[in-house]
A and B are shown apart, each in its own frame.
Chain A
Amino acid sequence: MIKALRIDHRLVHGQVAFTWTHFLGATRIIVIDDKAAGDDFQKMALNMAKPAGVKLNVFSAEKALERAEKIDSLSDTVFIIFGGTKDASRYITGHPKFKELNLGGITKKEGSTQYGEVVYLNKEEEEDLKKIQQTGCRLFIQQLPSTKKEELDLLK
C-alpha cells in the first residue's frame, strides 16, 4: 500500500532516506522523476543513499503510470518521492486517487514565490499543483516528521 507521497528535489537524501522512511515504516521507496530515471549514474547514487533493507525503484512518470495498479497493490509500505511538480502532476492526475501530497523541498528559481522554508514555486509549478489539488488531493508543507505541518491551498 502507498503510505505517503512527497515532492523533494533532493530525491533520496538524509531526511528522506532515514527520518521519513523510519517514521513511515516504509519498506519500499519509489522515485518518480524523468531526469533521474534516464541517468544511470544518478540511479546508482540513489541506490547508495537508500537505507539498508529498503527496496528502491526509479521510474519516469510514464513508466510509473504503466505500473500504477501494481504499485497500489504492493504488499510493501510504499513511500513515493517526486523530483518536482511536473512529475507529481503527471502521476497524480493520471492516477487520481490520493488524499495528500507532502511538499518537502522545491528549489528557489528566478521569479518564484516562497511558500515555506524550502518550498518555492513559479507560475508553472503552481499550475501543476493546482491540477493535483483538483483531483481532490490536498497539499501540505512539512520538512520533517517533527516539524509543523502546514496546509497549502492554491485553489482559494
Chain B
Amino acid sequence: MSDRKIVVATHGKLAEGFLTALNIIVGENEDICAVNCYTTPDFDLDQTIDRIFEEAEGKELYVFTDLLGGSVNNGFFKRLSTKQFHLITNTSLGLLMDCSLMNPNADELRNKLGSGEFSVVYCNDLIESMGLEEDDL
C-alpha cells in the first residue's frame, strides 16, 4: 500500500467516469478512488468527506474535484482550515493521468498547473500556430 491517496470527487458519475477513462489509458491504480456525489437523494456531503478523511488517515491525501465554486469543492474547501490535504479543482483527465504516472509532490503539482499544460484548449487556433517541422533525424 502506498502512503498516498488520491480521491476524485464530483457531481454525479463524472468521478467514476474519470476512473474508467484512467483504467483504459493508464491501467488500474489502487491509490486512486472515485466518489460520486449526489447520485442518491439521501447523499450527505459532509459525512462523505468525514469518511474520506478517516480512510486516508496517516496518508498524504490529494482531492481532485470537478468545479471551482461547486458544492463538492466548497465542501472540501472549508476543511482546508482544519485538515492537512491537497485540494485541486477544475480537474482534467490529463492531469489525473499525469498524477497517476508521475506521482508529483505538492510543489511539482503547483509547477505543472502553472505551466498551462492541462488547461482547456481551443484547437482551432492551435492549427494556425502549428508548423510541420519535424525533429532532426
Contact = CB atoms under 8 A, between A and B. Distances in A.
Interface string A113-156: 00000000000000000000000000000001111000000000
Interface stretch (B25-33, B70-78, B82-90): B25-33
B137 A18 contact: no
Nearest to B28: A146
A110 interface: no
B117 A145 contact: no
Contacts of A28: 135
B126 A48 contact: yes
A144 B130 contact: no
A147 B26 contact: no
A108 interface: no
A144 B26 CA distance: 7
B137 A67 contact: yes
B27 A145 contact: yes
Contacts of B127: 44
Interface in A1-59: 14-15, 18-19, 22, 28, 30, 40, 43-44, 47-48, 52, 55-58
B107 interface: no
B108 to A, nearest CB: 14
A109 interface: no
A18 B97 CA distance: 8
B102 interface: yes
A22 B134 contact: no
B24 interface: yes
A48 B134 CA distance: 12
Contacts of B132: 40, 43-44, 47
Contact of A15 (B25, B130, B134): B25
Q: How many A residues touch the partner, as a band?
A: 20 to 34
Contacts of A40: 132
Interface in B105-137: 117, 123, 126-127, 130, 132, 134-135, 137
B118 to A, nearest CB: 11
Contact of B27 (A48, A67, A146): A146
Q: A18, A48, A57 — which one has the most chain B CB atoms within 10 A of its CB? A: A18
Contacts of A145: 27
Contacts of A14: 24-25, 97
9 contacts: A18-B98, A19-B97, A22-B102, A40-B132, A44-B127, A44-B130, A48-B130, A56-B134, A74-B137
Interface of A: 14-15, 18-19, 22, 28, 30, 40, 43-44, 47-48, 52, 55-58, 67, 70-71, 74, 144-147
Interface of B: 24-28, 97-98, 101-102, 117, 123, 126-127, 130, 132, 134-135, 137
